[in-house]
Amino acid sequence: MTLPFDVSQTHGILRRPEHRIDRASDRLGWRSLYVSRQWEQPYEDAFAAVDDHLIILHLDGPVEVERQLGRAKMKRRIAPGGQFILPGKTDFWVRLCRPLTSVHLYIRDEMVREVAAEIFAGDPDHAEILPGLGELDPVIEDLARAANHAMAGEDASSALMADFLARALAARLLTRSGVAAQTAAAPRLSAAQMDRVKSYIRAHLAHPIGLADLAAIAGTTQTAFARGFKRAAGTSPYRFLMQERIAQASRLLTGTTMPIAEIALACGFSHQEHLTRLFHRETGATPAAFRRRAS
């Protein structure tokens, strides 16, 4: 997953001229997940398959949707929170009968196959994602809303969060058919692996860091890395990264006279307000108050 995921790699629904995009993840450089929130107008069209897997979360409604896969046509009245699920490599036709506010999520097939290998004891070809129309899956809904929130926040750590959400969505898509999981416990990362990962994080705090980057440093798959890191560190890679950024900001606040806005960028936050919000959540003080108390 080396190339950023952008709208050009989706089916084309989002590029229809009648739809109005509110926000999208193109500019964030995410590689495992693509997310877009938009206002859709009624339309009908046929779309050629793409490799990756699509979830559409309906934010309002109810609205009628017709879909055809092969010769099978289905029509559903989808309530708010309902989902349209389309496996990758599937041609389809769709008709949206009324205006809709929606979130579209595309999960890389590479990520799905990696998660499938973990779930199905090393045999990703055993995995199957079933199409869905109008389902109300609260797990998928919560993950989709979290992805929408991560995209909107322009968080410098959003690439890592997107990888986690893509992995969680992949796991849910693969297991919602009721197939029993066969996941073996992931071994914890070794001390040498942890040292390499921590050194990389501390040296790149000002830059976006994704799960794929950290897994490559450790020499594991992303799924094995996330589990192995948590077993070794007692916290997730995302949480560890945020703690390191807050710790570095604390050192710069007390040990330098750098403006707070520059400290925010140097520690990987998107802007000063973003640093202030997370710093206060972690320490109970704003950066300015923290600096005053230390002087």
At 183 the pLDDT is 46
Under DSSP, is residue 182 helix (H, G, I), strand (E, B) or coil?
coil
Q: Is 284 exposed, middle or buried (0-12, 13-18, 19+ CB in 10 A)?
A: exposed
At 3 the pLDDT is 80
Cα 53 to Cα 85: distance, rounded to the nearest angstrom: 8
Cα 193 to Cα 217: distance, rounded to the nearest angstrom: 8
Instruction: Please say whether the beta carbons of 46 and 91 come within 8 A.
Output: yes
**Which residues of the chain are modeled with pLDDT < 50?**
1, 179-184
At 177 the pLDDT is 61
At 182 the pLDDT is 44
Residues 6+ apart with CB under 8 A from 27: none
At 154 the pLDDT is 59
Cα radius of gyration (the chain): 21
At 252 the pLDDT is 95
Neighbouring-strand partners of residue 45: 94
Block residue for tokens 């750590």: 157
Cα 202 to Cα 183: distance, rounded to the nearest angstrom: 32
At 77 the pLDDT is 95
Residues 6+ apart with CB under 8 A from 284: none
Tens of pLDDT along 19-56?
A: 999 999 998 889 999 999 999 999 999 999 999 999 99
> Apex CA 268: angle with CA 262 and CA 273, to 5°?
60
Q: What is the pTM of this model?
A: 0.70
